[in-house]
Structure 1
Amino acid sequence: MAVSETVLILAGGTAVLAIVFGVRVAMRRAAGGAVRRSDAGETAGGSGAPDVAAVIALPPLIFLGFLVAATVLEVLVPLPVMAGQALARYLAGAVLAVCGFVFIFMAAGRFQAAGTNIPPTLPTTALVVDGIYRRTRNPFYLGTTLVYLGLGVAAGSLWAIALVVPLLWVINTGVIAPEERYLERKFGDAYRAYKARVRRWA
């Protein structure tokens, strides 16, 4: 049984992104991990809650999980789109992915400049509200969503494109909402004022 171009692109893209994520995690660990790790009794804003956001999983793993699901669905029930317009798909997908990576790198640069941790499973040591964060409260997730969509469009996978709806629901409820509750506990009125003037996505 021949493997379709859609499945090859989705599987290959997922593998590359998984390797990039793994390398980034390994580099972080080799560099010493967190900017500052919580002590056992440390809490956020004196609330008694641990000094980390209670996210359901690391966001890159959620995105990778949905890419794997789209790949499996394409194998079982293929739903390719624009099969005869490969160049258009590749160009549109590349534009989306490049824009996504730009957002991610801009956000990472602001976090590094502020000296705070990027993973939501580590303590946030500073409230970042400048640069790309003046436009969106979640440039990491906006950027990663664009990369995900770029891969789905390039592959011509209707499954990947359709799964972005439940993907964003999971990110909103399982990652962003817990992060925002954590930041409100830790930074209080400063974060509430920021949240009031900047949109969640864009």
Structure 2
Amino acid sequence: MWMLYALGVIFFLLLSLYSWFGIKRAYEKGKTLPLRVSVAIWIGDTLHSILVLWASLGGLWLMPINATAALIGGSVLVAVGLVIMLLGMLEFRSFKRMSGLDSSKLITTGIYRYSRNPQYTGWFLALIGISIMGRSLLALLLTVALLMGIHLYNVKLEEPYLERIFGEEYLRYKESTPRYFGMPKRRNK
């Protein structure tokens, strides 16, 4: 079992590196993502979620947390996370836009008034909830590692790209809206 799990983690890391450099190349040219990079991202995200579920369901590296409290607390995080993520996905109104294949419009409405990244925020809450429900330290570590990688992606690749593509509109949005979650700031006119 551990060998298969380790192969899954290695494959995920390779997909992540491929995705990172593919995103970097496209964004440096001011282009949307190539389909192959978008597909690699979706596969990597799905694989990561499977690895977190596997570790949680298998109780890999159990944390000393009360099982009932973990189930209740984790369930709440999963539910809240899924709602936030789905609200973000629905606001995009386009699978192509959500997958980085279309950047024709900056989304600033709905839940995007409170977060520039509600899909990531919701996804991380759900993965943390799953990790807590399973009381799996390994699942939690995989989630935290992904969170750090996505944060690095946001800061180093996505935000500079959006600044180049949308210019002043994105800078105003960035100034008034928290990166992950919070109340919108008042805009100075």
The alpha-carbon deviation at position 155 of structure 1 amounts to 0.3
- TM alignment of 1:28-47, pairs within 5 A: none
| Alignment of 1:189 onto 2:162 | no
The alpha-carbon deviation at position 128 of structure 1 amounts to 0.7
- Once residues 74 and 199 of structure 1 are traced to their aligned partners in structure 2, the CA distance between those partners, rounded to angstroms, is 34
- Once residues 55 and 90 of structure 2 are traced to their aligned partners in structure 1, the CA distance between those partners, rounded to angstroms, is 35
| Alignment of 1:89 onto 2:75 | no
The alpha-carbon deviation at position 173 of structure 1 amounts to 1.9
Letter in 2 for 1:164: T
Q: Does the C-alpha gap of structure 1 residues 78 and 117 become closer, same or farther in structure 2, counting only changes over 3 Å?
A: closer
- Please list every run of 5 or more consecutive structure 1 residues that lacks an aligned counterpart in the other structure: 12-42
- Once residues 158 and 32 of structure 2 are traced to their aligned partners in structure 1, the CA distance between those partners, rounded to angstroms, is 11
- Once residues 177 and 132 of structure 2 are traced to their aligned partners in structure 1, the CA distance between those partners, rounded to angstroms, is 29
TM-score normalised according to structure 1 size: 0.63
Q: Does the C-alpha gap of structure 1 residues 177 and 190 become closer, same or farther in structure 2, counting only changes over 3 Å?
A: same
| Alignment of 1:179 onto 2:162 | no
Which residue does 1:117 correspond to in 2?
Answer: 97
- Computing the radius of gyration from Cα coordinates, the structure with the larger value is 1
Instruction: Assess if the C-alpha contact under 8 Å between 2:56 and 2:131 holds in 1.
Output: no
The alpha-carbon deviation at position 141 of structure 1 amounts to 0.2
- TM alignment of 1:52-71, pairs within 5 A: 52=33, 58=41, 61-62=44-45, 64-65=47-48, 68=51, 71=54
Match of 1:146 among 125, 144, 151: 125
Give the length in aligned residue pairs. Answer: 157
Letter in 1 for 2:51: V
Instruction: Assess if the C-alpha contact under 8 Å between 1:111 and 1:118 holds in 2.
Output: yes
Which residue does 1:16 correspond to in 2?
Answer: none
- Please list every run of 5 or more consecutive structure 2 residues that lacks an aligned counterpart in the other structure: 6-25, 182-189
Match of 1:132 among 97, 100, 111: 111
| Alignment of 1:80 onto 2:59 | no
The alpha-carbon deviation at position 62 of structure 1 amounts to 3.8
Percent identity among equivalent residues? 27
Larger helix percent = 2
TM-score normalised according to structure 2 size: 0.67
The alpha-carbon deviation at position 119 of structure 1 amounts to 0.8
Instruction: Assess if the C-alpha contact under 8 Å between 2:53 and 2:130 holds in 1.
Output: no
Match of 2:134 among 130, 155, 161: 155
Residues 121-167 of structure 1 deviation map (CA, whole Å, 9 limit, x = unaligned): x1222111111111111000000001110110000011222333322
Choose 60-69 or 139-148, whichever is displaced more: 60-69
